[in-house]
Chain A
Amino acid sequence: MRASEEQLRIWMIGGLDGDADAYTALLGALVPLLRSFFGRRLRGAADDVEDLVQETLMAIHARRGTYDRTRPFVAWVYAVARYKMIDQFRRTRPMVQIEGLEEILVAEGFEDACAARMDLDRLLGGLSPKQAKAIRDTKVDGLSVMEAAQAAGLSEADVKVSVHRGLKTLAARLRGQG
């Protein structure tokens, strides 16, 4: 599972304060995030993706002072990543083909998806771990009830009840918030 915004931010602040372990954890956790960010935009160019991931990591390191600790962290990372990608386009492809452009634009929805994932993490964090896991397995990751039950070592009925109760709690909470 991906590290949450909150976890990444804590690691980043640790890194800014000179904690090398937190910083290593942060950079490690950013790699999959950046790979999918670039992967969705540069379909099928694995070398380019890895180059961009590395360039972005170096830029994040060199310019980490520009992260404002009071602001969202992942948005800052994506801003650096997006700049690096545009810079790469400018340098290596003076013309971006119109077909490629379409894919780049479509992939822009990815950030919204990530933000949604963070909201989801936050919401599920308010449930009991068992309910959260049951919902995540069956409703987000797309496992069947049987698979989820086997993975968690529970009965199928148990998983169904957890999902049902968890969703009910979430619904009640969302209505309360709305």
Chain B
Amino acid sequence: MQTEDLIRALASDARPVPRHAVECRVGIGLASGGIVTLAAIAAALGFRPDLGVAMQAFPFWMKWAYTLSLGIGAIAATLHLARPDAARAPWLWLLALPFGLLLAAAVSELIRTPVDGWQRLWLGHSWTRCSMLVASLSVPLFVGLLWAFRRLAPTRLRLAGAMAGLASGACSATLYGLHCPEASATFVLTWYTLGMVLATLSGALIGPRFLRW
């Protein structure tokens, strides 16, 4: 095809693009994935029966503060990496901050607890399932992000994949908090983090293949 013909064809398709097209698209992708994840939690796991009471107590908000702050940071990173001219982002290290804070909370929790109670804090009732559930429930969110990326232009594919994975993992963990009754910082630090790390690694692994354009 001649370049002039191509230009004519493209110009005939010059539909307006909204100002915040990147943010809108990522938002739609995450929201759609989030609905699927939420439905899966409601159908297969059920919300914790004491949700109303739990939401007035500290452990619930500690979990949400952890996963939400990671989620917001990872979404910001994803948005940043969705543009081809994205500059280096040294602020990505800020993502370690929530982890550091929760680590401090876990340490102080362990100090306050006699040693024979540590195992209960660490393993809770659901350590065998928690990480895998967080990772699997992140899949719909990740698929939503992959859809969003079809109109985006990442140039650092592995990093963009990792951040998309972390964003979906952290959102998945946030929603999973509506089901999971565990209340210890040590538990969340270990098993929620493991689930999110799995999601991040999967994203980094398949990013270069699926985000190519």
Residues on A facing B (Cβ under 8 Å):
15-20, 23-24, 27-28, 31, 50, 53-54, 57-59, 61-69, 71-72, 75-76, 79-80, 82-83, 87
Interface residues of A, dominant DSSP: helix
When the two chains form their complex, are residues B16 and A16 in contact, meaning their CB atoms are under 8 A apart? yes
When the two chains form their complex, are residues A61 and B17 in contact, meaning their CB atoms are under 8 A apart? no
Q: How far is the CA of A135 from the CA of B199 in the complex (A)?
A: 59
Most chain B CB within 10 A, of A53, A62, A65, A72, is at A65
Q: How far is the CA of A57 from the CA of B151 in the complex (A)?
A: 14
Interface residues of B, dominant DSSP: loop
Return chain B residues, CB-CB under 8 Å to A23. Answer: 10-11, 14
When the two chains form their complex, are residues B152 and A66 in contact, meaning their CB atoms are under 8 A apart? yes
When the two chains form their complex, are residues A76 and B151 in contact, meaning their CB atoms are under 8 A apart? no
Please tell me the number of chain B residues within 8 Å of chain A, measured between CB atoms.
Answer: 28
Interface window among B37-45, B56-64, B81-89:
B81-89
When the two chains form their complex, are residues B6 and A54 in contact, meaning their CB atoms are under 8 A apart? yes
Instruction: Quote the shortest CB–CB distance from B153 to chain A (angstroms).
Output: 4
When the two chains form their complex, are residues B85 and A19 in contact, meaning their CB atoms are under 8 A apart? no
Return chain B residues, CB-CB under 8 Å to A62. Answer: 151, 213
- Whether B119 sits at the interface, judged by CB under 8 Å, is no
Return chain A residues, CB-CB under 8 Å to B85. Answer: 71-72, 75-76, 79
